Structure 1
Amino acid sequence: MHDTLARRSSLAQLAGLIKLMRPKQWVKNGFVLAPLIFSGEFLNSHSISRSIVTALLFCAASSATYIINDTADIERDRLHPTKSKKRPLAAGIVTVPMAMGLLALLYGVLVWGWFLEPKAVQVIVAYMALNLAYTFVLKHQPVIDIFTIAIGFVLRVYAGATALAVPVSSWMFVTTLCLALFLAAVKRRQELHQSGTEGRKVLEQYSLSLVDRYAEMSATGALLFYSMFVMSARPQLIITVPLVLFGLFRYWYVVEKLQGGESPTDALLADWQLLMTVVLWIGICAWALWPVARGAA
């Protein structure tokens, strides 16, 4: 009986450590692969391997930031009705020393990654520094907190471009920024709508009407700048513009009617139409840029 309980406790701790890394959030690191697609390098095996390694290193870095964030917020999370049960540290499933051991392991992975992709890891280090500032200071500053989240996505794209040593259109950067601002604004909206100001102190500085305007402005900017990027740099992708528009419409539907959006990753994975839109967009981009990729290969 004692062995069985010990085994169950060990399995629960292992599951807690995995959950602490938030593997579902690794979907966000797909932004690292954007330069691979748009540069037409996706038929080059060397470029593919470098992009995948960079994305995996970003997964390690983002998991490390989640561990630091959860450790810093452990007492506040224990008072939260949902986070006290869902977050392993707050729930007592994982101890702080265990979390620190996992953090050291992830840092070790990043040190190893430095020897593989030194330039990309420099960008990742900047991302981690930004998130440290976010955890302890910036997440309490209205508007700055939203922009900090968005800049993290821009750094993902930049890391992917750096790994491939390819230039990235300025339109792509500003499109990524606007899209990320949209997702961050919607996240704050749903947190405010569903939990009031209890979830985050910074929510006291926002209102639903304000973050709605932020989201609308960002979504409009994302569509406008993406269209300009396509027309100026990749006219083959003009057929993807309606798909992007549908994706924005569908995401708003998920937010308004299905009460999603507090976690963009959960919203994407839970709605088959939204997920299919992303898959189709990737597929059409690859198909439209296939001649460019063959020429590059």
Structure 2
Amino acid sequence: MDDTTLAVPPLRQVRGLVKLVRPKQWAKNGFVLAPLVFAGEFLDPASTSSALLAFALFCVGSSATYIVNDLSDIDGDRRHPRKRYERPLASGQVKPGMAFGLLIALYAVLAACWFIVPSVVSVIGIYLVLNIAYTFVLKHQPVIDIFTIAIGFVLRVYAGAMALAVPVSGWMFVTTLCLALYLAAVKRRQELSQSGDQARKVLGSYSVALVDRYAEMSATGALVFYSMFVMSARPELVVTVPLVLFGLFRYWYVVETMDGGESPTDALFSDWQLLLTVVLWVAACGWALWPEAVLV
């Protein structure tokens, strides 16, 4: 069979490249905007522009990590019952050479932007190195793999703070860490319960009961630390605590009854109550902090 028989139509290749950078997963980069909200600077055009630039650059960086991951996992994805059809590289929709070229282009964008916002790009650089280590080494190490995923979310918050040149409360960092550990533990739980250790080797070191306890501990920590952060630094946000509690409950409900959770973004966009909770939380934060933002 010659190469022309296996040629992929250009439009399908473009669609595959779009899927390769996983735009739906960019919702995770919303953590970059947290300092903008909690610093009360969301009405300042300069601060908002800086935060949105940091968000966009983190989207570039996270897309680069997805490409590295997919390039390294082509063989495993081709054996996976679902990923063999969903992942562009595994399905043959995108050739490895095209993916590598796109990866170089994304790295070039970040390198160019270092001259504009070096502090933000430096944090993204740490994120890239961490995820390369995760792709080739750390994802095979039990417990470390979960913490590596969680640290990526903490770096998102830190990048947002660097973009605004504002300090970030230690409470915010530990809250983000706990919330991310919760999401990562639930992801591992769903992978384990749905695919066993066939999805990834490290799952052989876990049990559903163990990751359930990890998730429960992390969810409790996220709620406690968020409440302490609100009470100590932003008492006007106390109205958001019930929304956070409901969101944790609802997410766990989606995981248990709808087999969600393997992808937090899929769970978010597939459940209207969970999505509405996030929207209400953002609105409540804006309403509570609005007077202070006006004064700034």
Band of TM-score, shorter chain = over 0.9
Whole-Å separation in 1 of the counterparts to 2:116 and 2:265: 29
Q: Which residue of 1 aligns with 2:244?
A: 244
Whole-Å separation in 2 of the counterparts to 1:67 and 1:286: 35
Q: Tell me the CA shift for residue 8 of structure 1.
A: 7.6
Asked whether the 8 Å contact 2:8–2:93 carries over to 1, the reply is: no
Q: Tell me the CA shift for residue 112 of structure 1.
A: 2.2
Q: Tell me the CA shift for residue 135 of structure 1.
A: 0.2
Give the alignment of 1:23-102 within 5 angstroms. 23-102=23-102
Whole-Å separation in 2 of the counterparts to 1:220 and 1:51: 29
What letter matches 1:56 in structure 2?
A: A
Unaligned runs of 5+ in 2: none
Asked whether the 8 Å contact 2:154–2:177 carries over to 1, the reply is: yes
Q: Which residue of 2 aligns with 1:284?
A: 284
Asked whether the 8 Å contact 2:192–2:203 carries over to 1, the reply is: yes
Alpha-carbon deviations, 1:66-113, whole Å to 9, x = none? 000100011111111111111010111111110011111111211222
Whole-Å separation in 2 of the counterparts to 1:257 and 1:141: 29
Q: Which residue of 1 aligns with 2:216?
A: 216
Q: Secondary structure at the match of 1:167?
A: coil
Q: Would you identify which runs of 4 or more consecutive aligned residues in structure 1 move more than 6 Å?
A: 5-8
Q: Which residue of 2 aligns with 1:9?
A: 9
Asked whether the 8 Å contact 2:188–2:211 carries over to 1, the reply is: yes
Q: Tell me the CA shift for residue 120 of structure 1.
A: 0.6
Q: Secondary structure at the match of 1:116?
A: coil
Whole-Å separation in 2 of the counterparts to 1:7 and 1:215: 45
Q: Which residue of 2 aligns with 1:172?
A: 172
Alpha-carbon deviations, 1:129-162, whole Å to 9, x = none? 0000000000000000000000000000000001
Q: Which residue of 2 aligns with 1:190?
A: 190
| Aligned residue pairs, count | 292
Whole-Å separation in 2 of the counterparts to 1:239 and 1:69: 40
Q: Which residue of 2 aligns with 1:137?
A: 137
What letter matches 2:270 in structure 1?
A: A
Unaligned runs of 5+ in 1: none
Q: Secondary structure at the match of 1:289?
A: helix
What is the CA RMSD across the aligned residues, in angstroms? Answer: 1.3
Q: Secondary structure at the match of 2:9?
A: helix
What letter matches 2:239 in structure 1?
A: I
What letter matches 2:33 in structure 1?
A: L
Q: Tell me the CA shift for residue 295 of structure 1.
A: 1.5
Question: Which of 32-41 and 100-109 deviates more?
Answer: 100-109
Whole-Å separation in 1 of the counterparts to 2:182 and 2:70: 24
Whole-Å separation in 2 of the counterparts to 1:63 and 1:178: 24
What letter matches 2:173 in structure 1?
A: F
What letter matches 2:269 in structure 1?
A: L
Q: Which residue of 1 aligns with 2:226?
A: 226
State yes or no: 1:270 paired with 2:270.
Answer: yes
Q: Which residue of 2 aligns with 1:105?
A: 105
What letter matches 1:142 in structure 2?
A: P
Q: Secondary structure at the match of 2:229?
A: helix
Q: Which residue of 1 aligns with 2:155?
A: 155
- TM-score, normalised via structure 1 length: 0.97
Q: Secondary structure at the match of 2:80?
A: coil
